[in-house]
Amino acid sequence: MSSDPADNDTGGTITRQRPVYTESQVIMTTVKAVIPFVLTYGLFITFHGTGSPGGGFQGGALIASVVLMMAFAFGIESTREWLSNALVVGLGTVGVAIFAGIALVPMALGENFLEYTAYYPVLGDILGLKEYEFVKYGMEAVEIGGIALIVAGVLMGLFFALAAGVTPPNDTTPDTESAADTGAASNTNTMTGDIDTEGANK
């Protein structure tokens, strides 16, 4: 049996508990300082993607990276306490619904897929917009409300799914060693000691 006081002998199994997350004041302070800028930049390129370099893919990835940084700095389980599965799945679901709605409604009106001008005869007078403005606002709605939410939700979901595969319960990683293996090792050591004693007597 191991002499390590941190080891627990339960049911013939020796379990060594190793901490998974260790706080680092350097990382935590750095992440706190960086997160506001990363989030702001992610929102900027998301909202301005139709008129400048950027877009929903890049913005969604940056927004998701904020959550990843928080998980690395403060622990995965601590992050999951306020970011539930329902919220992550909801982001992706809402994004898909917005994209599908904007893209498929023109087909129901007899136009092509993602034909933004199809909204003009129906909503032009109501919203007071010109035909070309529907193209502009339609693209922005797809980029901001659709793609950005989908990318952010999928990346966060994949990260937590991968993390769940390597994070054991209660923030510990047990190393188990059966009592039979321990006993076999003890017997081997005893036999070796007996042989050495016999050799010394000779």
- pLDDT, residue 177, reads 47
Annotated domain spans of the chain: 24-165
Taken in order 3, 7, 8, 11, is the CA torsion positive or negative?
Answer: negative
| CA 99 remoteness from chain centre | 22
Question: Is residue 150 over pLDDT 90?
Answer: yes
Q: Identify which has the larger pLDDT, 107 or 49.
A: 107
What span, in angstroms and rounded, lies between the C-alpha atoms of 170 and 30? 26
pLDDT band at 79 (very low <50, low <70, confident <90, very high): confident
Mean pLDDT of 11-31: 69
Find residue 18's DSSP bridge partners: 173
Q: What is the pLDDT of residue 12?
A: 56
Read off the tokens for 10.
């339960």
Per cent of the chain over pLDDT 90 is 24
> For 71, how many CA atoms within 13 A lie in the half-sphere containing its CB?
20
Query: Which of the listed ranges 103-107, 125-129, 169-173, 178-182 does the model predict with the highest average pLDDT?
Result: 103-107
Q: Which has more confidence, 16 or 69?
A: 69
The residues pairing with 16 across neighbouring beta strands, listed in sequence order, are: 175
> What's the whole-number mean pLDDT along residues 118-130?
83
Q: How far apart are CA 101 and CA 107, in angstroms?
A: 10
Tens of pLDDT, residue by residue over 35-74, are 999 999 999 998 887 777 778 889 999 999 999 999 888 8
pLDDT at site 34: 94
Residue 163, φ and ψ in degrees, nearest 5? -65, -35
Average pLDDT of the chain is 77
| Phi, psi (deg, nearest 5) at residue 53 | -55, 135
Order of all β-strands in the sheet with 172-178 = 8-10, 13-19, 172-178
What is the mean pLDDT of the segment spanning 139-157?
90
Q: Which residue has the higher pLDDT, 125 or 22?
A: 125
pLDDT, tens digit, 9 for 90 and up, residues 158-195: 998 888 775 555 554 445 444 445 454 455 555 455 54
- Which residue type is seen at 97? A
